[in-house]
Amino acid sequence: MVKIAPSILAADPLNLERDTRRMEEAGCDWLHVDVMDAHFVPNLAYTPDIVRRLRQAVSVPLDVHLMMDHPETLLDAFLDAGADILTVHAEAEVPLEGIIRRIHERNVKAGIAVKPRTDPEIIRELMPQADLILTMTVEPGFGGQKLDEHVPAKMRKLREMGYRGWIEADGGIDESNLPHLIDCGLDVAVMGTALFREKDPAALIRRLHGLGEP
């Protein structure tokens, strides 16, 4: 069954606790938290304190995605705040092997993210260390974009390369394109506007959970 991870980037920032609890009550599997440094991507969002407050508000795993040039500068802060999964970018300006090791030392799952046009070959040697690979289906930084049609082939390539961990996708995912992504090897769907603007998110999540099942 595909996991559904609502992206809080699409929540109402003035009612973040209300909206995230609504997603948990609707049956989501994880909550996805995008952290942006205004350098790696042209936007700025969330602090370790937001993750800490979310950890107090909800019980579902917190899937924290560091869109940062230098994730090592705040790595421990997000680990201390309660991240259950911590993902760093292959395109970051620092080697990832030590960062992944530090994440695992804290008994937290480690992920590697790749932008839509990044060749998975650059992470081949790191793949055995990654619990999750996040394939960005839009250019990271802003919500509401259309899914890049080239990315599903990248998911198939990851499986062909022998990767057996979680494959996650983020950006432009909805009920119409999710079945194709599942066919390509997707395990975790990050969804923003498609969920937070839905009048009955519980019904939608039930339908999404049923996709891809025999």
Catalytically annotated residues: 34, 170
C-beta contacts of 37-43 below 8 A and 24+ residues apart: 37/67, 37/68, 37/69, 37/70, 39/68, 39/69, 40/67, 40/68, 40/69, 40/89, 40/91, 40/92, 40/140, 41/67, 41/140, 41/141, 42/141, 43/141, 43/142
- 3-state class (DSSP) for residue 145: coil
Report the alpha-carbon distance of residue 54 to residue 34 in Å, rounded. 13
Alpha-carbon torsion angle 156, 162, 163, 169, nearest 10: -10
Task: Give the tokens for residue 96.
Answer: 């990832």
